[in-house]
């Protein structure tokens, strides 16, 4: 397993835990909690795989995703009253997931020969649409459509990726810098509570 | 048509009728009722086909599904005030569907060479996710995430299936016993109102 | 670019604008507005492509969709207070989209060799299910399941298409008459406020 694979699993675990916590707040039963953990963790990548035609989709070909999500589910069930003590490590793992998943999505786009703009869409989808599916199943308007700049950071990361590619940086460096940019901007966004303004129908120019 | 195909169509009819009834309660128009009947009946299998890459998906290749769902839709529209008189036959058909759909999903997984755990997921998905899509389109948190042990029974059935396989039972026997286990446990669950406990955030260990 | 392609882009623009307006009313941020514009415009065709196995899906292979949707998004953000002044041209473009998208969906079904009934489903899906996905993401019961006869018009158009085919009309004529029927019936439906009756559980025969 490479260092990058390890980061992928850390991100998957963080996404699964955050999904499971959301499901708990919706008073779901254990099966519901497990499924919400699952779709939050792999839903974005699954949607990407389906749209580009990479089937059977990723989590069917590598059981590690199933195991790590089950682990996240068990951790949440066991420690559910004490989870706030892990807030900082959760935020860090979640942010690592954001960076790694964006890169994986972009790379899959390159593998399938689509345009850089589509690659950026696939990166954003991989990182953010697990959360969208989670919110739809919990009957909430997806949070990234309302106040999280999560997705905007992935798009920014995608443009950094292709800029560095164009400047002919080595692949390792492109990966490293892109993920660091995503992680750094995300942490700054949380720290300073950055969000996009809502577009109000009455405040037109 | 084999006996198994006949059971498949009985299950499809039962699922279509239950979907149409849900849509009626949401005051939908006839098109909405038809679509909800459709997704409830074939949504789980469609999702499975898309995720494993079996396209065009099943109901596009066998018009019997379209016909039987339309029949279910018409039955509901015509008898909609008297449907409670058929409660027992509905429960039985629905339970047959649960057993048959789980087996079909597992078998498709085997056809595509994925791991037994993934086969069990595909069986559960085939049997239960039509209802999930129905609930999402009706803007309800999916009932199987909250109080139905429906999905848990499918998972149990999946493990029975692979246990019997491992013990080298004949295929016919594996199919028969697995579906009987699912059907029996489901009927007991309805009879004794079994459900999974909700995981409350405040009752941690 | 053919005349038909131009009509496709006009329809895409109209759908994107209507999606963006819905998102504005839900007080989404710019990213949410863009995504809702996107799924409203290409969601139906994307679902169709995934179900028949045409991947990578259409909008990944032709950047014009991405550009025209972004244009629609910008138009809505800039003119959002004055959009009611364009009500008539919006209705006309939207109706052109309905006709063109239905034809594209039917044609894709023919390309993949599925039964005419399935082709009609694919045409209806292409024209109507972008709106269904939009409504699901906005946590509303899809409007075409409740009071819009939108979908019924597409189904009618589909039957006209195959009737003309059977009568051996030239392909150009089949396309022209089908789209004119859809457009005309849609405009009449808006003018005279036609809708399907809701099926009430208490008004059974």
pLDDT by residue (tens digit) across C2-60? Answer: 877 888 899 999 999 999 998 998 989 999 999 999 999 999 999 999 999 999 999 99
Give residue B201's pLDDT: 65
Classify C61 as helix, strand or coil.
Answer: helix
Q: Which residue of B has its CA nearest to A33?
A: B145
Residue B197 in this model has a pLDDT that exceeds 90? no
User: Is the model more confident about B86 or about B183?
Assistant: B183
What is the mean pLDDT of the segment spanning B142-153? 88
- Cβ–Cβ contact C28 with A under 8 A: yes
Per-residue pLDDT reduced to its tens digit, C149-168: 889 999 999 999 999 999 99
Instruction: Considering only the beta carbons, identify the residue of B117, B136, B196 that sits closest to A66.
Output: B117
For chain C, the chains sharing at least 3 beta-carbon pairs closer than 8 angstroms are: A, B
In chain A, count H helices and then E strands.
8, 0
Q: Which residues of B133-158 are buried (b: 16+ CB within 10 A; e: fewer)?
A: bbbbbbbebbbbbbbbbbbbbbbbbb
Classify C74 as helix, strand or coil.
Answer: helix
What is the mean pLDDT of the segment spanning C60-88? 89
CB-based contact B197 A33, cutoff 8 Å: no
Residue A85 in this model has a pLDDT that exceeds 60? yes
Alpha-carbon dihedral sign for residues B177, B178, B183, B187 = positive
Instruction: Indicate which of C111, C199, C205 best probes the interface with B, i.e. most B CBs within 10 Å of its own CB.
Output: C199
Find tokens 């052109």 and name the residue. Answer: C96
* pLDDT tier for residue A201 given thresholds of 50, 70 and 90: low
Give the span between the Cα atoms of C24 and A202, in whole angstroms. 10
Per-residue pLDDT reduced to its tens digit, C93-117: 889 999 999 999 999 999 999 999 9
The residues near C64 (Cβ < 8 Å, ≥ 6 apart) are C9
Give residue C141's pLDDT: 93
* pLDDT tier for residue B85 given thresholds of 50, 70 and 90: confident
CB-based contact B198 A29, cutoff 8 Å: yes
Q: Give the highest mean pLDDT range of A48-57, B92-101, B143-152.
A: A48-57
What is the mean pLDDT of the segment spanning B39-67? 95
Give CA separation, C14 vs B50, C8, C37, in Å.
29, 10, 10
Would you kindly state where each structural domain of chain B is located, as residue ranges? Answer: 3-188
Give residue B202's pLDDT: 58
Instruction: Considering only the beta carbons, identify the residue of A32, A50, A60 that sits closest to B146.
Output: A32
CB-based contact B196 A33, cutoff 8 Å: no
- Cβ–Cβ contact C140 with B under 8 A: yes
Give the span between the Cα atoms of A112 and A107, in whole angstroms. 9
Give residue C201's pLDDT: 66
CA distance to partner chain B, nearest, from residue C25 (Å)? 18
Find tokens 């029975």 and name the residue. Answer: B160
Give the span between the Cα atoms of B167 and A164, in whole angstroms. 57
pTM: 0.94
């Amino acid at each position: 397993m490479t260092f990058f694979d390890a980061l992928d699993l850390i991100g998957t675990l963080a996404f699964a835990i955050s999904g499971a916590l959301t499901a708990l707040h919706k008073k779901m039963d254990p099966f519901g909690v497990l499924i919400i953990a699952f779709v939050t963790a792999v839903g974005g990548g699954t949607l990407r795989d389906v749209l580009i035609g990479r089937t059977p989709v990723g989590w069917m070909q590598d059981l590690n995703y199933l195991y790590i999500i089950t682990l996240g589910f068990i951790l949440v069930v066991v420690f559910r009253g004490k989870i706030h003590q892990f807030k900082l490590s959760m935020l860090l793992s979640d942010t690592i997931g954001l960076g790694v998943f964006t890169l994986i999505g972009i790379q899959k786009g390159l593998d399938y020969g689509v345009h850089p703009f589509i690659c950026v869409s696939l990166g954003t989808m991989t990182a953010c649409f697990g959360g969208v599916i989670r919110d739809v199943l919990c009957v909430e308007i997806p949070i990234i459509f309302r106040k999280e700049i999560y997705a905007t950071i992935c798009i920014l990361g995608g443009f950094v990726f292709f800029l560095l590619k164009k400047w002919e940086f080595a692949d390792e460096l492109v990966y490293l810098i892109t993920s660091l940019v995503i992680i750094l901007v995300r942490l700054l966004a949380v720290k300073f509570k950055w969000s996009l303004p809502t577009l109000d129908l009455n405040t037109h120019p």
